[in-house]
Amino acid sequence: MILLDRVTKVYNRREAALERVSLHVEPKEFVIIVGASGAGKSTMFKLLTREEKPTSGKIIVGGIDYENLKDRDIPTLRRKIGVVFQDFKLLSNKTVYENVAFALEIAGATNAEIKHTVPKVLEVVGLKDKTNSYPRQLSGGEKQRVAIARAIVRQPKILIADEPTGNLDPKHAWDVIKVLEKINRFGTTVLLTTHNQEIVNYLKRRVVTIRDGKVVSDKAIGNYKG
């Protein structure tokens, strides 16, 4: 599903943001990526979504070799990868339904497809009763769940969740984590970054640690000691 083979990314001549990183993620796997700010996690995600190109090394995602990826095919690639950020990025003038539907509209979905798909996705994230609410009327956790719904509405094979609980109180953080687990059970590969050790220990999933642009640890299951 995801293969990084000795991937290096250098933004300037002095320092590599990522240095010879190798990582293999199986389909339907749930992988937690940990590391301090500036360790290289965001750079890795930008490489996976093709916002950035590697300086060297090979990236293959879902059978697509990025070396042969044409610019015109990047939108197709990105439809396979949903991304959720710490700061929601919702459209304040649109309802919950409209925020999620918008992701389908820009992908060229028909009105019938939108009407069929959006309610189902809102049910998955537990927001069926918030369809007509605006972002200002939602809690932080609810906003994040709208962002997750928007990210998965096109049924991506991979969901990247970059510090999705960073701005949330504990209760809403756990709500979001449970939604991510549910999505993973449905067959989506999930890559989660978090600084919350409690979440890591609860999930008991594979933990990849990045430090100074290098993978320094890759542990299957068990408690993360930092």
CATH classification at residue 8 = 3.40.50.300
What's the confidence (pLDDT) of residue 32?
97
Edge-to-edge strands of the sheet including 2-10? 16-25, 2-10, 56-61, 64-65
What's the confidence (pLDDT) of residue 165?
92
Half-sphere exposure of 212 (CA within 13 A, CB side): 2
Contact predicate 171/41, CB 8 Å = no
pTM (2 decimals)?
0.92
Domain contains 161: yes
What's the confidence (pLDDT) of residue 85?
86
Average pLDDT taken over every residue of the chain: 93
Q: Which whole-number Å values give the CA distances from 67 to 53, 70, 71, 77, in the listed order?
A: 9, 9, 11, 13
Q: Which of 205, 206, 203 is nearest to 218 (CA)?
A: 206
Domain contains 77: yes
What's the confidence (pLDDT) of residue 70?
93
pLDDT band, very low/low/confident/very high, at 49 (cuts 50, 70, 90) = very high
Domain contains 141: no
Domain contains 17: yes
What's the confidence (pLDDT) of residue 222?
53
Total tally of structural domains belonging to the chain: 1
Q: Which residue has the tokens 């320094």?
A: 216
Which ranges of 19-93 does DSSP label H, i.e. alpha helix? Answer: 41-48, 74-79
Q: What is the mean pLDDT of residues 15-36?
A: 95
On the question of pLDDT at 4 being above 60, the answer is: yes
Domain contains 55: yes
d(CA 12, CA 95): 42
Domain contains 226: no
Domain contains 211: yes
C-alpha dihedral over 57, 61, 67, 70, to 10 degrees? -150
For residue 111, count CB atoms less than 10 angstroms from its CB and return exposed for 0-12, middle for 13-18, buried for 19 or more.
Answer: exposed
What's the domain range around 162?
2-91+156-219
Q: What is the pLDDT of residues 51-62, one digit of tens each?
A: 999 999 999 999
Q: What is the pLDDT of residues 82-137, one digit of tens each?
A: 999 888 889 999 999 999 999 999 889 999 999 999 999 999 999 999 999 999 99
What's the confidence (pLDDT) of residue 221?
67
Domain contains 134: no
On the question of pLDDT at 220 being above 90, the answer is: no
